[in-house]
Amino acid sequence: MKKIIVSPSLLSADFNNLGKDIEMINRSEADWFHLDIMDGVFVPNISFGLPVVKSVKKLAQKPLDVHLMIVQPERYITAFKNAGADILTVHYEACTHLHRTIQEIKAADMKAGVSVNPHTSVKLLEDILPEIDLVLIMSVNPGFGGQSFIKNSLKKITEIRNLANVVNPEVIIEVDGGVDTNNHREIVKAGANALVAGSAVFGAENPTEAIAKLKTI
Ligand code: DX5
Ligand code: ZN
């Protein structure tokens, strides 16, 4: 059976009780913690920053999967490493010198990811693909939790999986936005092997059970 990585997004967690939600993820079948960093410039919303990442790191018993939705992410690589990031994903659209940024993330001893917005063709990742550990396909326009999955993403997932099979079969293909227990199977079938879920986990009556369902294909 295919192993699916599940990375619950803390954006939908209860910020008054973050410790409780972190412990729930620690005890669950989830693999990673997904942390959404928004600067109010690259995306029209501001989320949380380095002090929160540092606090999460103190309790988290699983890797921190940090998704930077910020302009000029290269300015903060060391800061996120020091805050406890294990995987650092930057946006294709936010990096003028993406190759250099990826090398810097890897030199800082983190896994390097590249994310693409819904309008960005995955064909543009062909040359960076051999260098990276993870591709993050945005299946909503980034900035907010709780939006609906954009159907066209399925085609993009298959396209990047086919490309990866040739140049980097080990690369993780992660999907973020509108993923839930109704559509996760078709997302995996299209070629994804990592799922981010915010509202589908924290909005569920039983978040632990929702995580377990997302792991089951
Ligand atoms: C959106 C973020 C997502 C978000 C997903 O900009 O990158 O990680 O938290 O939330 P859901 O799963 O509710 O779409
Ligand atoms: Zn995200």
CB-CB contact of 43 with 71 (8 Å) = no
d(CA 38, CA 136): 16
Which residue segment(s) compose the domain that 110 sits in? 5-214
What's the 197 CA to ligand 1 centre distance in angstroms? 7
For the question of residue 65 being annotated catalytic, the response is no
Give residue-wise pLDDT tens across range 157-187.
Answer: 999 999 999 999 999 999 999 999 999 999 9
Neighbouring C-beta atoms of residue 159, cutoff 10 Å: 17
pTM here is 0.98
Q: How far apart are CA 157 and CA 118, in angstroms?
A: 11
Write out pLDDT tens, residues 37-64. 999 999 999 999 999 999 999 999 999 9
- Is the CB of 8 within 6 Å of ligand 1? no
Query: Per-residue pLDDT averaged across 99-126, rounded?
Result: 98
In terms of residues, how long is the chain?
Answer: 217
Average pLDDT over residues 150-158: 98
In three-state secondary structure terms, 5 is: strand
- Reduce the DSSP state of residue 41 to 3 states and report it: coil
Degrees to nearest 5, angle at CA 209 with 204 and 213 = 100
Write the CATH number for 152: 3.20.20.70
Instruction: Compute the distance between CA of residue 39 and CA of residue 19 in angstroms, rounded to an integer.
Output: 24
**Domain total in the chain:** 1
Known catalytic membership, residue 109? no
> Is the CB of residue 112 below 6 angstroms from any atom belonging to ligand 1?
no
